[in-house]
């Protein structure tokens, strides 16, 4: 494999990627283009390009991916009701294929031969980045310094930074964190012991439930074909839907979980995740589906949701199976249009009402009052036919028991 002359680096401006940038220059003798993804994260990105250039990058840019992330990654995933291991809303997972896709796009524009990332050899993100590159640009090399260098501690990274004049924050970080427009994850420190509760500083978006307002807040969200389009009567862009609902849900203590999950690489890990917008949308979307989706269609979609969530978590966004499942999911959502009104209170989401022009709900069928839409006598044949196999099975068991008694 030839040594790349130009590398596109996923650059956050923190200690790890700053050291990686300089390491690529000094150890690999590469020109480095630093690319920072603006995913709507709370961090201030001003000055990050200047910092990359001072560290030695030949070019540096911040790419605004907020609308693309919401429209083309978050919303498709949420149409699929994806929950990894029935709890995790995949806030970090869904951003990785977009970041990797952006690295590939910049590499093509700049005629680079490789891309690089700062993921460690223990985690899932290395897989997500590199699966995406393999799918979109298999000719590009991927450089993963954490799998190559001997800088295996924060002390070593800090020493390298000081040696090469890289400015770093003097403030020690308690956690390894990842944030985007809807999600913040916390790992490390006391969280590495599942028997310890998180420190009070382990939060960013969700107020503690005991500090949430004592008065419930009412929110109304409109959906079209499974996608949220309007909040409280105001039509918003996909990214603004996420940011608005994140603020609303977060101030009501909604969307925080503390869990131990199974990483794709085989180990268990413990993390605290805050995803207020995703949590609220998940509940409201599922509620609207209750009146819009046929029973068997909903059942099949929910079966696929398990496999779909694994695809996202494990980095298979650009796989044929995810794309095929997405086609089915999107077909299932064609009639999921309507409005859900909900009460938010102390970490909970309680839908109050839901209406849809495509509702399958029939008052004439379910009413306790007299109705000409349903004949109670029809249930007799339905029960008799569906109980046929149960009668057959019961008879066979009785014969077997009788035979066993004789012997």
Position 1 pLDDT exceeds 80 = no
Whether residue 286 contacts residue 81, with contact meaning beta carbons closer than 8 Å, is answered with yes
Which residue in the list 93, 116, 125, 243 is annotated as catalytic?
A: 125
Total domains in the chain come to: 3
User: Does residue 129 sit in the same domain as residue 271?
Assistant: no
Concatenate the DSSP letters of all residues of 34-65 into one string: EEEEESS-SS--TTHHHHHHHHT-SEEEEEE-
Count other C-beta atoms under 10 Å from residue 6's C-beta: 16
Residue 374 sits at φ, ψ, to 5 deg, of -145, 135
Which residue in the list 176, 189, 269, 371 is annotated as catalytic?
A: 176
Instruction: Write down the residue that tokens 């000055």 correspond to.
Output: 47
Which residue in the list 16, 178, 222, 287 is annotated as catalytic?
A: 16
Domain termination site, one of 137, 172, 207 = 172
User: Does residue 388 sit in the same domain as residue 345?
Assistant: no
Q: Is position 214 annotated as part of the catalytic site?
A: no
User: Does residue 191 sit in the same domain as residue 144?
Assistant: no
User: Does residue 256 sit in the same domain as residue 349?
Assistant: yes
Q: Is residue 271 part of a domain?
A: yes
Strands 227-231 and 217-224: antiparallel
The whole-number average pLDDT for the span 147-176 is 84
Q: pLDDT tens digits, residue range 271-322?
A: 999 999 999 999 999 999 999 999 999 999 999 999 999 999 999 999 999 9
Which residue in the list 12, 18, 79, 96 is annotated as catalytic?
A: 96
Output the domain CATH number for residue 62. Answer: 3.40.50.620
Strands 31-38 and 59-64: parallel
User: Does residue 340 sit in the same domain as residue 240?
Assistant: yes
Q: Which domain holds residue 210?
A: 177-293+335-355
Q: Is residue 313 part of a domain?
A: no
Per the prediction, the chain carries an average pLDDT of 95
Q: Is position 96 annotated as part of the catalytic site?
A: yes
The whole-number average pLDDT for the span 105-112 is 98
Angle between helices 15-26 and 154-163 (to 10 degrees): 60
User: Does residue 19 sit in the same domain as residue 68?
Assistant: yes
Position 59 pLDDT exceeds 90 = yes
User: Does residue 286 sit in the same domain as residue 204?
Assistant: yes
Q: Is residue 234 part of a domain?
A: yes
Q: Is position 309 annotated as part of the catalytic site?
A: no
Q: Is position 125 annotated as part of the catalytic site?
A: yes
Let me know the angle formed at the C-alpha of 106 by 100 and 112, rounded to the nearest 5 degrees: 100
Query: pTM of the full predicted structure?
Result: 0.93
Position 369 pLDDT exceeds 90 = no
User: Does residue 95 sit in the same domain as residue 192?
Assistant: no
pLDDT for 407: 65
């Amino acid at each position: 494999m030839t040594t790349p002359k130009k590398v596109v680096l996923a650059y956050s401006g923190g200690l790890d990627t700053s050291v990686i940038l300089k390491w690529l220059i000094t150890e690999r003798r590469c020109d480095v283009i630093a690319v920072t993804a603006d995913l709507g994260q709370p961090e201030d990105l001003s000055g990050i390009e200047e910092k990359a250039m001072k560290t030695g990058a030949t070019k540096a840019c911040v790419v605004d991916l907020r609308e693309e992330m919401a429209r083309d990654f978050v919303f498709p995933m949420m149409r699929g009701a994806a929950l990894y291991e029935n709890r995790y809303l995949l806030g970090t997972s869904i951003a990785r294929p977009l970041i990797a896709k952006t690295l590939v796009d910049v590499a093509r524009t700049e005629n680079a031969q490789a891309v690089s990332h700062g993921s460690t050899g223990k985690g899932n993100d290395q897989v997500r980045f590199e699966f995406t590159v393999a799918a979109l640009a298999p000719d590009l090399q991927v450089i993963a310094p954490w799998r190559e260098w001997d800088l295996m501690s924060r002390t070593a990274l800090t020493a390298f930074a000081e040696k090469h004049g890289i400015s770093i924050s003097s403030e020690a970080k308690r956690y390894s964190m990842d944030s985007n427009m809807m999600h913040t994850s916390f790992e490390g420190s006391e969280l590495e012991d599942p028997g310890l509760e998180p420190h009070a500083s382990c939060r960013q978006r969700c107020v503690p439930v005991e500090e949430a307002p004592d008065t419930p807040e009412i929110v109304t969200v409109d959906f079209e074909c499974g996608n949220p389009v309007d909040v409280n009567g105001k039509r918003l862009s996909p990214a603004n839907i996420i940011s608005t609902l994140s603020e609303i849900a977060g101030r009501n203590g909604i969307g925080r979980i503390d869990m131990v999950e199974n990483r794709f690489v085989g180990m268990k890990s413990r993390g605290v995740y805050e995803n207020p917008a995703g949590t609220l949308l998940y509940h409201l979307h599922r509620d609207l589906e209750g009146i819009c989706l046929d029973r068997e269609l909903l059942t099949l979609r929910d079966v696929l949701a398990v496999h779909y969530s694994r695809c996202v978590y494990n980095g298979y966004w650009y796989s044929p199976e995810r794309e095929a499942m997405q086609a089915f999911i999107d077909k299932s959502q064609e009639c999921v249009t309507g409005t859900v009104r909900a009460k938010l209170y102390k970490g909970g989401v309680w839908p109050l009402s839901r209406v849809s022009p495509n509702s399958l709900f029939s008052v004439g069928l379910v009413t306790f009052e007299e109705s000409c839409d349903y004949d109670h006598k029809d249930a007799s044949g339905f029960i008799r036919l569906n109980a046929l196999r149960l009668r057959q099975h019961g008879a066979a068991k009785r014969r077997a028991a009788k035979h066993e008694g004789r012997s």
